[in-house]
Structure 1
């Protein structure tokens, strides 16, 4: 145990003498990070000081960042600087301590690979600048024969990301990319190969979107009674065709399937008057509700309306937010 000595006839107050000796013990690593300081009682017996004086010294050490108090355990020497992944001391690091840890780790890895701090700075700034420029323009690519699926993706992306997006037909994508220096192209995995073939030579980032699995809706339709009529209303004609194929595979001719896009008023009216169940996209739900209400006098029993939660998978939305620096 380190012996602290107090000079009673000194002009320096006893508390200051003890404070300076303890600070030296910490700085010289006689008390290393994580070391538990003696109790006020033990130190009072050693130095002859009152326990209140020692408590005052301990509080000053804690205020100055040399030690930390753990309730019910004691007072311990704090790690400082890079020891134990402690906080960086810059104001921005104090404001975002968890982010500071991540940044510090990334910097350490770059330096260990032989990069200088200036090079690391250049790498970080270039990446941030590129992502900002890419997030400034988001393109949704969809086949020209089914731009409705692009509208559906754009509808959900604008809602969740809260940024404007532009729908582009895949066969027009090359011409659009020739006129821009940076952008992010997103598309469904159904079309990813065609889109990447166009975007890759132009060094444009492409992010594929996973689609919702429709498991809840499929399980519901599996258990419908025979001879029911099911309406599928979607912005995408392709989704309607795929739904027909999937449901025929599940139920054969047990169910009558009718599909429509919201702008096709004739087909929509037929579904509203005939179907017992109508499944629709979020973007179509209000339109279908309005159509059902308008036809209420001609309908004996209103159809059950099911609004699909989303077309784009939640994980894809979260990934896109991270890639665009939106959260």
Structure 2
């Protein structure tokens, strides 16, 4: 490689957060490690290269010093800086082939950062992809047990050629023990923030799924009589969302009483005389015992088709990527 060709290969971005000397050193390491500059080749003089790149002399000198410390160059008085290759012992556990791969990773990372990809995204995305290479696609749906099983089955049925069965994981079990050996987690939007926070240190991709009340639920609510005493049993955090949604679809519905689905004593007091109980999946066992004569309407959700398609497309895309990654390791 001639001096002119080397100049064309080197790119310095003055607006990058990466120090200029690090940009220069990393690019030179890559060029040397891949064999484009062979041992013994003389690198451009410090002042000449600084002038051609439009950087300070100290920037080039610092980059050359970094090359020398890593074993990629040697500077001798009266001779200048010449290319070398690190001895196998210079970097424990590495040989020149390993160094070549490392240099490629460095160059790719520099390019990503220069294109505006944040270090956090670059790190987590790379880790998650390497986990896919090791494990294949491992997908779990996290939610209340009954609904998690239903959603996991729905998603699995729509991915006949995809990652296989999607496992259901109860949200309470997830809170106690977390989740291991997965690459993707799907969760309804009202659990997503908690799931993301608990998985912040793991290379797992979290996919939010939006849902809506099943059409059958609204049909049963519509048939309730004006004289029915209606009790809404849900989590306090979702109370107003349910009330607004039901009243929007059925403005004439009688006023609903509210009981938190985790308040056992209040449920036992309020439900025996109820005419109808609208309840979440989590409260189903207790509601059945406490309101044997009431009409029980489980607030069953169904995934919105648009959100479902987005999740399925992501899994298909990542599944294709996994296959390409696996094929690449065999070449």
Task: Give TM class, smaller chain.
Answer: 0.3 to 0.5
Which protein has the larger Cα radius of gyration, Structure 1 or Structure 2? Answer: 1
TM-score, normalisation: structure 2:
0.38
